Amino acid sequence: MPTRKFDFDYNYDPAGTSLVTPDPYTEPPPKDEENYNGSSISARQNTRLPMYQARARSPTRSPSPPLQLEPTPEYLAVSQEPTSKLDDVSEQRKLLILDLNGTLVFRSPHTKRNAYQLRGVQRPLRSVHRRPYLGSFTEYLFHPGTRTWLDTMVWSSAQPHSVADMTDQCFPSRKDDLVAIWARDTLGLKQEDYHRKTQTTKDLAKPWADPKLKALGHSARSTLLLDDSPLKAHLQPWNHLCIKEYVSEMRKTDVKVREAERLREIQDEGEEEQSGKRKGAKKAQKFADRVAQAEAEAVGEDGRPLEYDGTLLAVVGILDATKEERNVAAWMRTGHLVDVPVASRSGTPSKKRRNTGEHLPSSPAASEGTSSPPPSDSSTELQEATGVPLTESKGVELWFDHPNTFGYWVQRGRRALEELGIEVKHGIIGAN
């Protein structure tokens, strides 16, 4: 039979001088190639890969140190120290650590992955929607008066490219004023957890000890972590200002409120222009019906008009209070977050709901000087009394679940902005 044009072996080397390693897959398959039971596969592998030796296993790795699951005794001791008012707020600077997704912004879900997309290719960035009053909140953080006592950094569990995008959306012209921007690569995750959704922990001991931030001198006495995940700071719970997660439904509510406002503004302008004219009456009536429908949609189930989410205004109010405190962790632990004046019928603040620090259950772990967790009932009771998340229980209300408490901090935040001459703007522009 004549040799066909391509019937030759590229690995044939009669002199034995070629540096090219022979291709093991050019050898003929074993006789039992057509059988696909376990022994045949083993035989086939041994036959087709004669030159490869089984890789020797590396010695057993020493076990990783156990993850810390509870606050340290040192931290608990600091949280039990009494707090007092500072004579000058710049005497002890505060550190605000900001989460991004769910806290300052809402990100739309990922688009469905293309089946033909190459592995390892980065997905397109998701659309970012800013939380109401983020603009006013940012102005407050970087106002010259605020910067005399406040340092601000970003710490997100998102991957670096997403953090960069969200930071640009939140602080388009003030990124350089942040003392640090940290992403998922700072959380100490295992490689298999880095690219999948998993529970993460923000150990505040890391920024406190970081060489670039250590000079700022922050600790449990001066730090607030703003994050929507209840157990994100379970190692330093009394420094965690947990807020309600900004989700799709809240975003839709804000858009409904804005749409009703926008249509009402257009209608009012049209009525002024058309005063004294009868032309376009039918068109005006049609538009009025549209306005009425939008306003009806901007009403809650209780019949009250929907409002923009005021969480960031409340945060400003809380910052305005904690700036005067010598020990933030102690301030949170003694219930000041929920120990607020209740508005009387006359509209003026009345006495506080309880005397500060009285009748608050103490943690057995703290009283014994150990880091063992308190019984679940005591943790729940303490959580209810302080509004700070300590357990995974979903039935326990946090500070923002109490209308009077939340409303108080929103109003205090508005006053703090006005005192600095910052306009209170919701910043919602519509559905896009």
Please tell me the distance from the alpha carbon of residue 324 to that of residue 91, in angstroms, as a whole number.
9
Give percent helix, percent strand, percent coil of the chain, each to the nearest 5. 40, 10, 55
Q: What is the DSSP letter of 371?
A: -
pLDDT of residue 388: 85
What 160-165 contacts at long range (C-beta under 8 Å, 24+ apart), as own/partner pairs, is: 160/184, 160/185, 161/122, 161/125, 162/101, 162/107, 162/125, 162/126, 163/100, 165/125, 165/128
Query: For the segment 141-197, what is each residue's pLDDT rounded down to a tens digit?
Result: 999 999 999 999 999 999 999 999 999 999 999 999 999 999 999 988 888 888 888
Name the most confidently modeled range: 68-77, 87-96, 377-386. 87-96
Query: For the segment 14-50, what is each residue's pLDDT rounded down to a tens digit?
Result: 555 545 444 444 444 444 444 434 443 344 344 443 4
Q: How many residues does the chain have?
A: 432
Q: Is the pLDDT of residue 359 over 60?
A: no
Question: At 353, is the secondary structure helix, strand, or coil?
Answer: coil
Amino acid in position 192 = E
pLDDT of residue 161: 93
In angstroms, how far apart are the furthest CA atoms of the chain? 109
Model confidence band, residue 422 (pLDDT cutoffs 50, 70, 90)? very high
Q: Is the pLDDT of residue 55 over 70?
A: no
Query: For the segment 251-285, what is each residue's pLDDT rounded down to a tens digit?
Result: 999 999 998 888 877 766 665 555 555 556 666 66
Question: How far out from the chain centre does Cα 329 lie?
Answer: 20
Averaged pLDDT for residues 1-11: 47
Neighbours of 297 (CB within 10 A): 14
Averaged pLDDT for residues 72-101: 97
Please tell me the distance from the alpha carbon of residue 336 to that of residue 206, in angstroms, as a whole number.
26
pLDDT of residue 371: 28
The percentage of residues in the chain with a pLDDT greater than 70, rounded to a whole number, is: 62
Residue-range domains of the chain with CATH: 80-108+124-246+310-419 (3.40.50.1000), 252-297 (no CATH)
The mean pLDDT value of the chain amounts to: 77
Model confidence band, residue 294 (pLDDT cutoffs 50, 70, 90)? low
H/E element, 224: strand 223-227
